[in-house]
Structure 1
Amino acid sequence: MSRAFNFCAGPAALPEAVLQQAQADLVDWQRRGCSIMEMSHRGADFVAIAERAEQDLRDLLAIPDNYKVLFLQGGATQQFAQVPMNLLGGKASADYICTGVWSEKAIAEAKKFAQVNVAATDVANHFRAVPDVSTWQLDNHAAYLHYTPNETIHGVEFDFIPSVDVPLVADYSSSILSEPLDVSKFGLIYAGAQKNIGPAGIVVVIVREDLLGRYAAGMPTIMDYAVAAKNGSMYNTPPTYSWYLSGLVFQWLKAQGGLEAIAALNARKAAKLYGAIDASGFYANPVAIANRSRMNVPFTLADARLEATFLQEAEAQHLLNLAGHRSVGGMRASIYNAVPEAAVDALIDFMADFERRHG
């Protein structure tokens, strides 16, 4: 079977080696006579899988010992509510930076639990840059500051980690594990798996221990980070197959040389694609150069009427899922860790050929 190049924003491409290992394990895991999906989550075999996955993630990100690593259900969207439920700690307000659609969604959900101060936003500029720190208007009484380091839809990425006096909370769904990260600068990091970690169905939460136990009165037990931590992310039956596959991805990343090596590859892929766009009079990227995402590259055609043709011809060349998000249109190539450099090269060649024929 010949596999296509998949540029989907999520659920996104998985490493082929991981898929092959999962295929081999699917029916009979290590000759145990059952599938990985049929195992008890409390059995010794799955507990060992879960423990290795956590340790490999800790190794990759050099996570300090005073942080808990949780593997939870509900995806990043559930965290939009779970974060304020757990971190307000009796305070009434929280700061949010708005740089795209996912920031907006996090803000809308947080408003159900807190007074949200939008300390900075680029909405007037149609989300093309990160607002300059000098313009941020932070609330001195905020419980935490939330931001989205990489906006999947608009392709806007922070080129710095904010420095604030309150716990820093980050939705790292679309850029986690794409480069080394100083976890100690954060109070809490969360990331939906379906972009750079594994398949849909699980979210990773990395939370500093001193932030546990601040839950709001009346909060459902299952939403309490402290309960999840105490029970090893197994207060209820977890998404075992997604957890197992995420663990395989962590092993694959280690085999590639870790996050330093994958960061160099990601930088090279992004530089090639942006270079091709910038050198063209036919394609354009609207994002400020300093804030261009390495993971999600939106671009437009000089003639929007050609978009359907572009997508049809791209798919015929086995270049899949290049349509931009429905809210912004245009094109988008998501070039996460598992998207090989050959995929970017093939896309660039197709784009050049399409421009010659239609430009």
Structure 2
Amino acid sequence: MKALSSIYNFCAGPAMLPKAVMEQAQSQFLNWQGSGCSSMELSHRSTEFISIAEQAEQDLRELLHIPQTYAVLFMHGGGRGQFSAVPMNLLQPGETAQYVVSGMWSKNAIAEAKKFGHIEVLDIQTQKNELSAIDAPQTWNIHSNATYLHYCPNETIDGIEIFEDLDIDCPVVADMSSTILSRKIDVEKYDLIYAGAQKNIGPAGLAIVIVKKSLLNRAVEQCPDILNYTLQAEYDSMLSTPPTYSWYLSGLVFSWLRQLGGLDEVERLNKEKATMLYNFIDESRFYHNRVDPAYRSRMNVPFILQDEKLDKAFLVESEKAGLLALKGHRIVGGMRASIYNAMPIEGVKALIEFMYQFEKENR
């Protein structure tokens, strides 16, 4: 195995965290700010942890320009927990929600939502020149009387991203687990945003929910307290003991993003990384990306080798080179490079250099 400094983790999640954040957490692990305790040992009711929680929320609000008309919740259960929480908090008996299918994760959200209410499915998946694509948002058959429209702007498995903010009449719910904080968005175009933490925010297990306060007090009676947005907002996400260490680490990431220059600079870097990798793949006859360029994800770059018999060798050799977790999802196969915010441009350059050498040796 190579030295630690030369290893790059391309896992889709749990994903790599910024090195500076990990070093800061390491330095504070046994003794947070002279308290004599680790941050994970602090009571969530203590003034020390409340200061951590408040700073994390403030930094997130500043990064995304979240108005005070929205509640920001730090919840258990990751993104998948929100597949259940959303309909239980928003969908009353007799109402209908529309769910958009753009890939595997939106399909999973639909399967869960159907347990709790009436769901109408809009399948926007299509093919353009034998490449995976989606129908343009302005062509979606959205009903203005739907209780809400749910969609996933970035599909990690399929490598498809929707960049437009939707401008529609009914409330918009977005699963931003794999795209939040990677680029600027207009939060006020959304009524509810949720995101599992393990890609661009922090460790697995935490979920961030950004919800218009006007949508609170709609939960069905059967909604468990732990998933009830109204109760969580009332108790500042501390109805029960929250995932405190994940919250703390997420706060360090938010601070790191602000020091980096905020989402203007983050988006510039992410465009640069993705463009570099896609350009290399497009110029090669050995590698191929099967997504229409207009909808290629900046966060998750799937690709296949011209000869799939070389897949195993590619994975073995790439790991030896310190390039980890490049195997594609089992559903689609091939390879996948997840290049979230924490992936430095040096990691993408190292991947391209390896891909070039592997092609040269196996053509």
Aligned to 1:197: 201
Report if aligned partners of 2:44, 2:241 keep a CA contact under 8 Å in 1.
Answer: yes
Q: Is the 8 A contact 2:87 2:117 kept in 1?
A: yes
Q: 1:334 aligns with which of 330, 338, 347?
A: 338
Query: Which whole-Å CA distance do the structure 2 matches of 1:19 and 1:135 have between them?
Result: 44
d(CA) in 1 for partners of 2:66 and 2:142? 28
Aligned counterparts, 1:206-285, within 5 A: 206-285=210-289
Offset from partner CA, 1:249-290 (integer Å, 9 cap, x none)? 000001100000010000000000000000000000000110
Q: Deviations over 1:284-307 (max 9, x none)?
A: 000011000000000000000100
TM-score by length of 1: 0.97
Using a 3 Å threshold, how does the CA distance of structure 1 residues 102 and 210 change in structure 2: closer, same or farther? Answer: same
Partner of 2:30: 27
Q: State the 4+ residue runs in structure 1 displaced beyond 3 angstroms.
A: 123-127
Instruction: Determine if contact 1:155/1:297 at 8 Å carries over to the other structure.
Output: yes
**Matching of residue 46 in structure 1 with residue 49 in structure 2:** yes
Provide the rounded CA distance (Å) in 1 between the counterparts of 2:262 and 2:226. Answer: 33
Aligned pairs for 1:12-91 (under 5 A) are 12-91=15-94
- Asked if 2 retains the 8 angstrom alpha-carbon contact of 1:178 and 1:259, the reply is yes
Retained in 1: the 8 A contact 2:144–2:169? Answer: no
Q: Distance in 2 between matches of 1:203 and 1:222?
A: 12
TM norm structure 2: 0.96
2: CA distance, partners of 1:326 / 1:318: 22
C-alpha separation in 2, matches of 1:43 and 1:264: 39
Greater alpha carbon shift after TM alignment, 159-168 vs 290-299:
159-168
How far the C-alpha of 1:214 sits from its partner, in A, is 0.5
Structure 1 residue ranges without an equivalent (≥5): none
Q: Structure 1 residues 248-257 or 122-131, which shifts more?
A: 122-131
CA deviation map 1:123-144 (0-9, x unaligned): 7889922223354223443210
What is the DSSP-based 3-state SS (H/G/I as helix, E as strand, rest coil) of the residue aligned with 1:129? strand
Q: Is 1:2 equivalent to 2:4 in the alignment?
A: yes
Query: Equivalent pairs: percent with the same residue?
Result: 54
Q: Which amino acid aligns with 2:199?
A: K
SS at match of 1:128: strand
How far does residue 160 in structure 1 lie from its aligned partner after superposition?
Answer: 1.0
Whether 2:133 is the aligned partner of 1:129: answer yes
For structure 1, which segment, 122-131 or 84-93, has the greater mean C-alpha deviation from structure 2 after superposition? 122-131
Aligned to 1:305: 309
1:56 and 1:136 map into 2 onto residues whose CA distance is: 35
Q: 2 CA distance for matches of 1:87 and 1:304?
A: 45
What amino acid does structure 2 have at the position aligned with 1:217?
A: E
CA–CA distance in structure 1, aligned partners of residues 107 and 187 of structure 2: 24
Shift of 1:217: 2.2
Which stretches in structure 2 are left out of the alignment for 5+ residues?
none
Structure 2 counterpart of 1:163: 167
**Aligned residues of 1:145 and 1:167 also touching (Cα < 8 A):** yes
Q: Which residue number in structure 2 is paired with residue 288 of structure 1?
A: 292
Aligned residues: CA RMSD: 1.5
CA distance in 2, matches of 1:219, 1:258: 36
1:314 and 2:314 aligned: no
**Deviations for 1:81-101, whole angstroms, at most 9, x for unmatched residues?**
100111114552101110111
Match of 2:191 in 1: 187
Say if 1:213 and 1:272 are closer, same or farther in 2 by CA, change over 3 A: same
Of stretches 329-338 and 33-42 in structure 1, the one that deviates more from structure 2 is 33-42
State the alpha-carbon separation in 1 of the partners of residues 202 and 144 from structure 2: 38
- What is the CA–CA distance in structure 2 between the aligned matches of 1:154 and 1:127, rounded to whole Å? 11
CA contact (8 A) 1:94 1:139 kept: no
User: Secondary structure, in 3 states, of the residue corresponding to 2:318?
Assistant: helix
d(CA) in 2 for partners of 1:30 and 1:117? Answer: 51
Partners of 1:91 and 1:51 in 2: how far apart? 38
Q: Equivalents in 2 of 1:269, 1:219: separation in Å?
A: 42
- The alpha carbon displacement at 1:32 in A equals 1.1
Q: 1:101 aligns with which of 104, 107, 115?
A: 104
Q: 1:205-228: CA deviations, max 9, x gaps? A: 000000000011222222210100
Contact 2:152 2:175 in 1 (8 A): yes
| Residue 152 of structure 2 corresponds to residue 152 of structure 1 | no
Aligned to 1:323: 327
Q: Distance in 1 between matches of 2:71 and 2:345?
A: 34
Structure 2 residue matching 1:163: 3-state secondary structure: coil
Count of equivalent residues: 359
- Alpha-carbon distance change, 295 to 55 in structure 1, aligned in 2, over 3 angstroms: same
Query: 1:97·1:120 contact (CA, 8 Å) conserved in 2?
Result: yes
Does 2:350 correspond to 1:346?
A: yes
Who is 2:178 aligned against? 174
Please give the alpha-carbon distance, in whole angstroms, between the structure 1 residues aligned to 2:131 and 2:356.
27
